Amino acid sequence: DTAVSQTPKYLVTQMGNDKSIKCEQNLGHDTMYWYKQDSKKFLKIMFSYNNKELIINETVPNRFSPKSPDKAHLNLHINSLELGDSAVYFCASSQETDYGYTFGSGTRLTVV
């Protein structure tokens, strides 16, 4: 069983489109995250949700909107996609009584 699963794995789309990436975790963790990994492999946090409540919101364009329907799911919706949004987006989860994340396998977004 996959602990943190993301869909789709690959996403190619044109500039200006709107797209969503979905994430689900079956670990029973309370907190979920979105990270962006750029072309130089640098990982930067975007958002964090704890039990459906937004707790970390880094400096991210408001074209990016996370949504957490329940604590096992955290989706990322991106409006008006730009070339610079091309990256690998990782979902992760963690538990309050433990430290460190469990990562999904990533979604490679390519904007053309």
> Segment 12-31, which members bind other proteins (CB under 8 A)?
30-31
Show the binding pattern over residues 41-80: x = contacts other proteins (CB under 8 A), - = does not. xxxxx--x-x----xx------------------------
- From the centroid of its chain, how far is CA 67? 10
Contact region for other proteins (CB under 8 A) — 13-21, 65-73, 74-82, 92-100? Answer: 92-100
List CB contacts of 98: < 8 A, sequence separation 6 or more.
none
Q: Minimal distance in Å, beta carbon 107 to other proteins?
A: 10
Q: What are the beta bridge partners of residue 85?
A: none
CA dihedral 86, 22, 10, 61 (to 10 degrees): -10
Rounded distance between C-alpha atoms, residue 37 and residue 84, angstroms: 12
Footprint of other proteins on this chain (CB under 8 A)? 4, 30-31, 40-45, 48, 50, 55-56, 90, 94-106
